[in-house]
Amino acid sequence: MKSGEVVLQIRDLHKSYTLETGEKIRVLEGVSFELHRREILGIIGRSGGGKSTLIRVLRGVEPFEKGEIWLSGSRITPDSPETELRKLREATALHLQRSFGLWEGTVLENLMRRLNALAVGDETAPLPPEDSNEYHALKKESEKLLRAVSLDQKATHPVHTLSGGEKQRLVLARQVAIATRRPTVLLLDEPVTMTCPATKYQAIDWIKNVRREFDVSIIVASHLPSLLKSLSDRVLWLEKKILNDGSAEEVIDSFLSQMDPPIPLTPPTKRKRVIIKVRELKKKYHAEVLKETFELKGVNFDVLEGEILAIIGPSGVGKTVFLRLMSGLELPDGGRVIYKLDRREIDITKLGYRAMAARRAIGRIHQEMDLPYHATVKELAMARVGLKGERVLATARVRARELGLREEVVDALYRLADYPEKEIGPRLETLGLDREVMKELFPLAPWEAISKTIEPTLNLCKLPSNTLERKTYELSWGERIRLAIALELLSRPKVLFLDEPFGDLDPVTLRAIANVLKLINRELGLTMVIVSHHLDFVREIAHRVILMKEGMIIQSGDPSEVIENFIRIAGAGFPFTEF
């Protein structure tokens, strides 16, 4: 939709990052393009190719070294003063990749705060009195925005009860709230990676409606070919440089032509030995403002040794909670999770050293990808092997006796080590302990323990060996996902849980990782349980698929059959394709 009027112009943009080692990495090189009024411009490219960096530069929150940006009559250069950068930020609204930045209140309050801040300049300011016209006007506009992203039914829910996909939709609504007031360009960085197919499909209409109703131009960086083909007027292929600029079909088909062919999925062992038994598993979550937000209703099923099992379902049905219960991060209200390891049956819902022995054989990757910000890859590798290595139980027992800690407390701390980074601190406070206790119980492994396996493992996950000295914030999201997989593989787990980690991978890298996981499954016999909204990925990698709805398993079986049923139930107009 080129109207002829150019609203944004980028000329010869260059950007590098200087690592703490002093090494420079070029991420944008001579990027030039134009965005026209009311145009939706898609950007595709490999993970780490500069898409998120470009979005942040256009928002005015990331410096650049060379080039110029023209927007709303302003010319931005590397030497522009803060006053000019502020104009750039005032003319744009930004949805960052996997960055929630939400308040602890309800969904509705989050939007009302955002709208109120546009008027008073401070999101921490109290809302107007509930009996005032101003309050009712904010509430009415917020409810309209929630309907636009299909979150109106969750208006009174506390934010912490939302799924990852629902949080993404709330962030989208908050950015649209900004776009309704002043910006001319809406910047969306992977806006629907963690949502179900039906929500992705709805997002197409929603984004087009935003363009039509609020007269904004939109830039969407996404790894989803179907989304970009259905949404974009034009697509750029960006990998440091712009490699192609044209119609969505032409550019995306060219990009996908470099994809590796899939390797075959090896059938699980014919013995069909059960490795995990889930029996009558129950869990309820309550919030003060709600009678009930979620209930897992007496789930029963088995996981077979060497099986890749995928769990699918709409956003907010409890898939993440289910995975946390299966991997021992949460304790159920009722039921058992029994691991059959080395001819022993261990119920990991019971705190103690036996459960620790079972959980030592478990690897876990969270959807938040919350790796310690300033840690190097080398430090993370030593910490992971220290936590899951062969000597961890013996070391923990000795130190626990010296510290006077009961085995239930030691196990509780051991489970904490598998939590996302941001959850560890508050949970330690609840126990009345600090991180130093965890460091004493589970010290770093010596470098010698991983020096021979770390580089082959990094290479297996398509990461160069020089990644070792880099810090996590110096890696792209796609690189962080591959690193998370590599860290778990270092301790050779028997079971690996993956909770929606692939939303930030481009299709080319996603296929490579799918091949890696299938290869690991074949060579090591590693059992995997995966939650994912990437249905093509699930169809390609899973031996069996479970469909969840409203806290229950409603179907289990052949991947293609279960996925087709899910698409039919979800009412998606078409399945989103990743490959």
pLDDT at 81 exceeding the cut of 80: yes
Confidence bin at 29 (pLDDT 50/70/90): very high
> Is the distance from CB of 50 to CB of 17 less than 8 angstroms?
no
What CATH number is given for 100-181 in this structure? 3.40.50.300
Measured CA to CA, the distance from residue 221 to residue 42 in angstroms comes to: 6
pLDDT for the residue numbered 274: 93
pLDDT (average), residues 562-568:
90
pLDDT at 289 exceeding the cut of 50: no
pLDDT for the residue numbered 195: 65
pLDDT at 465 exceeding the cut of 90: no
Confidence bin at 76 (pLDDT 50/70/90): very high
| Sign of the four-CA dihedral 432, 349, 370, 490 | positive
Measured CA to CA, the distance from residue 143 to residue 106 in angstroms comes to: 12
Residue range 198-251, pLDDT digits in tens:
667 777 877 887 788 778 899 999 888 888 999 999 999 999 999 999 999 999
pLDDT (average), residues 417-446:
84
pLDDT for the residue numbered 290: 44
pTM of the model: 0.76
User: Considering only the top CATH level, what class is 1-91+186-194+217-258?
Assistant: alpha beta
pLDDT at 109 exceeding the cut of 50: yes
pLDDT at 288 exceeding the cut of 50: no
Measured CA to CA, the distance from residue 427 to residue 79 in angstroms comes to: 45
pLDDT for the residue numbered 574: 47
Residues 418-437 as b or e (16 or more Cβ within 10 Å = b): bbeeeebeeebeeeebeeeb
Residue range 30-44, pLDDT digits in tens:
999 999 999 999 999
The chain-wide mean pLDDT, for the chain, equals 86
Q: Which sequence spans correspond to the domains of the chain?
A: 1-91+186-194+217-258, 100-181, 274-361+493-579, 365-389+447-492, 392-444
User: Does residue 145 or residue 271 have the better pLDDT?
Assistant: 145
pLDDT at 353 exceeding the cut of 70: yes
Token readout for 508 is 């080319």
Residue range 362-379, pLDDT digits in tens:
999 887 666 776 788 999
User: Does residue 576 or residue 363 have the better pLDDT?
Assistant: 363
pLDDT at 291 exceeding the cut of 50: no
pLDDT at 193 exceeding the cut of 90: no
pLDDT at 179 exceeding the cut of 70: no
User: Does residue 195 or residue 494 have the better pLDDT?
Assistant: 494
Write the CB contacts of 81 (distance below 8 Å, at least 6 apart in sequence). none
Phi and psi at residue 306, in whole multiples of 5°? 80, 5
CA distances from 271 to 119, 267, 306, 546 (A): 66, 11, 10, 21
CA distances from 100 to 162, 169, 240 (A): 11, 10, 26
- Among 221-235, 269-283, 467-481, the range scoring the smallest mean pLDDT is 467-481
pLDDT for the residue numbered 540: 93
pLDDT at 282 exceeding the cut of 70: yes
One fold for 100-181 and 274-361+493-579: yes
> What fold characterizes domain 274-361+493-579?
Rossmann fold (3.40.50)
Confidence bin at 546 (pLDDT 50/70/90): very high
